[in-house]
Structures are given as C-alpha cells and as structure tokens.
Structure 1
C-alpha cells in the first residue's frame, strides 16, 4: 500500500473511531464517514470491502492501542495486585469505549482480532505469575476463562443500564467472587490442596532441562489431568 493510500486509510479509521465513540456502531455509515473525512464514498470502498470491514479496522485500531499500553505497563511486585489493576483498567476501557467493546464481544470479530488475542495473552501472563506464586486453586486456563467470563458479564450488565443508574460496585463484587473461586488465601500451600500444588509445579516444567521435550509434554498432560 502506498504512503498516500495508507494515509487516507488511517484518516478514515480515525474519523470512524470518533463517530463510533460518539454515537455507537450505527453512526459509522459510509456516507457519514466520507463526509467527516472530506472524501467521496467510493474512496472508502477502495480501501474497505464494506462497513463491517471498516468496523473491524476501527475496533482493531482502538483496542490495539489500549493493549499496547497494558503490555508496557510496569508489573506489580504483587501478582494479585497486578491482576486487580488489570481488571479495573479493563472495566474502565469498556465503559469509556462501549462502541468498540460491543464490537469485540461479537464472537466472530473477537476471534479474528490480533489485538483481542494479544489482550488475552496479557491476562494469561498475569495469571501465570499468580500460579508461580502458588496462589491458584484452579488451572491457569480455567482461571483465565473465569476472569474473562465474569468481566464480560459485569461490563455488559453495566452497559445495558443507563449511566445514571449504574451500580459500579457490581464489578468489585464480581471480582471478589472470582478471586475467592480461583485463588488460595496465602502462598503457603496446604498439603491437602493438591490442585494449588499441581498448578504451581506446572509453571516450572518448561525449565526442567534434564527432561526431554517429550517427557515435559507427558508431565504437563499428567499435571493438567491432576488439576482437573
């Protein structure tokens, strides 16, 4: 793509992102975007197949910038505090960008979004550090899925409520409930809590250089089964 075409494409995305933020996905029409960008509608179709392709590009642009900021953020010494900070940041982004969030919660869009996958990896990394600290009572995969499900549900509930009527303490209550379900009370492992021990041990398997790759794969399979 030439520099001129890329510049025009970015101008269209920026204008569409502004319209999306101000009035939601319905406002991002070809005519409205063309008018705001001082272009003729055919110019948009030369760069984007249709409105859905434009919305995909806008959602990716906004969310990619957000995820890049999360990736560059300093890690907390306490992985639990880091998880809480990430939760609050994600809630804040969704409430500030409801149009983008509604696009990303569309299963077909989220599944093909590199930025969405990068955001999930940021969460996986946070959960992995908690597992290394011996604080997970469920597998890393289950913890990630529970956090995502709880966060999405809480956000969609708030977005479906008029801003003046939203009870933002809902997200705190949901977070506390998830934490009780996935974390142990302390890093000291209870001998009876075999799942926490298994999950913590699994984080060191990649560093067991005395084992072959096949042996590490088999050990991971056993540990996954033991963790349920």
Structure 2
C-alpha cells in the first residue's frame, strides 16, 4: 500500500467513527504513521485531504453504479438510483455529510460523477419519450431533492422516523414532476396548455444527440437544440 492510500485509509476510518463527521490532520498523521509534511505534500491542505477522502469513500458506491446494467425501463432505473443514493447515505452518514459540507469550497469529484450518472439515466428517459423537461433541468430537480432527503434522514432521525416512507413519497412526487405517464397521450385527451410541446421538445432534443449521420451541420444542430431547450424549459400554464 503506497503512502497516499495509507493516509486515505486512515482518514476514512477516523471519519467513519467520528461523532462530529470531521477529522484532524494530526490524528490522520498518527494513524497513518506519517509526518504532517508528507500529508500536505500529498493533498495540499486539510480541505484537499477531506475532498480526497470523500472520493475514496464513494468509490465503491460509484463503481457499482458504473457497472450497473441498464434495464429496459429507464424510469425504473431512475427510481432505483434514488433508493440506492439514500441507502448509501444512511449506511455512510459521515462521508455523505462531508460531501455536501459548505466547508469544502471545491466539490469532491464524487459529487460531479454522481450528477453525470443521473444525467445519463435521464437522457435515456428522454430518448424513450418519458421526460416532461430536458434531461439537464430534470437532473437539477432530482439531485437536490434526492440529496436533501438523504441529508435530512441522517441529520434529523428523530423527526423523520420512517425513512423509507419519507424517501418514497418525495421520490414519487419528483418523478411525477419530471416523467410522463407510461401511456402516450391521446390527441383528444385534455392536457395542460403547452405541456405536450414541452415534452415533445425534450424528447426530440435527447434523440437528436443520438444521431450518427445527422443531415444538419454542427451550427444547425446547436441552434435546433437551443430552440428545443427553450420550448422544453418553458413553464406551462393552466
């Protein structure tokens, strides 16, 4: 085991057992058997160490998500992703709290990758004709809600005593807000004004990016995507 990995193991172990969800560099140095100059040479400062520890702690979780085989139902995968996210937070509360700590000015790479993996699922939902908004906007709605529920469940367990029920209800509210019903809308069915246009624009935008032999130029594609995004993100009325 190299020095960097030994320090990360020591810091991760201390973090997992810390009642304050924090560790001191002195304690990490003692546990890893290294001097402070070695730690700072590897990570720059304490913030750099903590960001690296979060990435280290999330690696197994993210590895599982990377290796997951997509099902034939992207909406089900969206729900499963939400549940797995909350389960990881409940099992690893200190790592999770640290990832979203305002004390870290630079978000850990794990947070960025988790967002990109969510976006990939939402793009599949759009390609299947199931999104009401663009994948980008849907991700901006789903991730904060998912993280917010997870943080509340681990920081306020005496208030939110039924974690599964709370998580499921919020999940379904968010999924309903970004996903269309399974059955396609009939032309004679009453719909919210502008709603069908937004859905169609979001889905066409997702499909456009999958074309390998588009007849449009790069500039034309970019312009069309801009128009579709405006239509998809346009608030409906009613």
TM-score, normalized by length of structure 2? 0.84
Higher relative contact order (CA 8 A, sep 6+): 2
In the alignment, which residue of structure 2 is the partner of 1:201? Answer: 204
Q: Deviations over 1:94-120 (max 9, x none)?
A: 111111112211357485433321111
Runs of 5+ consecutive residues of structure 2 not aligned to the other structure: none
1:137–1:199 Cα contact (<8 Å) kept: yes
Could you tell me how far apart the structure 2 residues matched to 1:21 and 1:31 are? 16
The match for 2:178 is: 182
Q: Check whether the contact 2:52–2:108 (CA below 8 A) recurs between aligned residues.
A: no
> For residue 9 of structure 2, what is the aligned residue in structure 1?
14
Corresponding residue of 1:29? 24
Structure 1 range deviating more: 211-220 or 133-142: 133-142
Does 22-31 or 218-227 show the bigger shift? Answer: 22-31
Would the alpha carbon gap of residues 44 and 184 (structure 1) be closer, same or farther in structure 2, given more than 3 Å must change?
A: same
> More helix per residue: 1 or 2?
1
CA offsets, 1:106-136, max 9 Å, x none?
A: 3574854333211111100100111111111
> What is the CA-CA distance between 1:48 and the residue it aligns to?
3.1
Map of 1:3 onto structure 2: none
**For the structure 1 residues 48 and 225, does the alpha-carbon distance in structure 2 shift closer, same or farther, using more than 3 Å as the test?**
closer
TM-score normalised by the chain length of structure 1 = 0.88
Matches within 5 A, 1:3-152: 7-23=2-18, 27-106=22-101, 109=104, 112-152=107-147
Determine helix, strand or coil for the equivalent of 2:216: coil
2:219 aligned with 1:223: no
Flag the 1:24–1:99 CA change in 2: closer, same or farther, 3 A.
farther
Root mean square deviation, CA, Å: 2.3
